Structure 1
């Protein structure tokens, strides 16, 4: 990856860190299916509580609150931007593609369509070179996956649990 691309990607991450999308846990709308998940990265202390509202198979609300490094917080912001209003299937597909990106060791995806699908999330290509930082980038995506399972299979009053990502 060229130095210019690295600088651009770093700026995208910093922009999302400084002005995160979806930060601030919102109450679920009355009667909507809601899933919530609390995830912790025990290696660095990053944590997030994420709430997703689902109407049928459509994500109608997504909010989160958490603390951590710029990578985890920016990744949550990008994920929110990409999945807000998406179908559950599309959000799950985005998560799969992002996890694939995190397994490239900095080389990026060979599939241009997949990279186009990720939008600003391609900025995390450089993060995939550092195994300890990959967990930071995946924290929010793990919370989304868990919250979607909860939101599409249980009622809004179900309790959430804390999980550690491994």
Structure 2
């Protein structure tokens, strides 16, 4: 059992490293309908999230910025996860991701690839890195002009 947990942890780390080295949807979006900035002053992670929302569906999602491997991987995974989803589902996913990263795994939620971020909870100092993109997404959808912070 311990070997299986170690293998799973290594797989999760590899997925995070891959999304850091080759972030998906890493570009500015000129015709975005929603955008917001995020900044973590403790470690310097900084990003902008762009969304194209049409008829209540997130049609496109992208981001630009710089940060640690966890911050970049979280933003990359997030943009993949929200594409094609209705706004209510994206908001629910934000709430559940926040719970998974800060408290415990929500019952009955299948996170798919996002599950790789669950191990971050074991490192409290890194939780803010993983949640920054999600708070920024939330601000973008809510039309908030203030920069999202993870403080």
**TM-score of the superposition, structure 2-length normalised?**
0.90
Counterpart secondary structure, 2:77: helix
Determine if the alignment matches structure 1 residue 7 to structure 2 residue 10: yes
Determine if the alignment matches structure 1 residue 39 to structure 2 residue 38: yes
* Displacement over 4 Å in runs of 4+: none
CA distance change for structure 1 residues 61 and 94 in 2, over 3 Å: closer, same or farther? same
Match of 2:136 in 1: 143
RMSD value, Cα: 1.7
* Partners of 1:163 and 1:89 in 2: CA distance: 20
Match of 1:22 in 2: 25
Match of 1:72 in 2: 71
Counterpart secondary structure, 1:27: coil
* Partners of 2:53 and 2:37 in 1: CA distance: 18
Q: Once the 2 structures are TM-superposed, how far is the Cα of residue 71 of structure 1 from its aligned partner?
A: 0.1
* Partners of 2:62 and 2:68 in 1: CA distance: 18
Determine if the alignment matches structure 1 residue 165 to structure 2 residue 150: yes
* Partners of 1:51 and 1:110 in 2: CA distance: 27
Counterpart secondary structure, 2:85: coil
* Partners of 1:50 and 1:120 in 2: CA distance: 19
Match of 2:122 in 1: 129
| Equivalent residue pairs, number | 148
Q: Which has the higher contact order (CA 8 A, sep 6+)?
A: 1
C-alpha contact (below 8 Å) 2:26/2:63 kept by paired residues:
yes
C-alpha contact (below 8 Å) 2:27/2:62 kept by paired residues:
yes
**TM-score of the superposition, structure 1-length normalised?**
0.83
Counterpart secondary structure, 1:124: helix
Q: Once the 2 structures are TM-superposed, how far is the Cα of residue 164 of structure 1 from its aligned partner?
A: 2.6
* Partners of 1:57 and 1:100 in 2: CA distance: 24
C-alpha contact (below 8 Å) 2:132/2:148 kept by paired residues:
no
Unaligned stretches of 5+ in structure 1? Answer: 152-159
| Cα deviation digits, residues 65-86 of structure 1 (max 9, x gap) | 0100000000001101110111
* Partners of 1:90 and 1:98 in 2: CA distance: 12
Unaligned stretches of 5+ in structure 2? Answer: none
Match of 1:83 in 2: 82
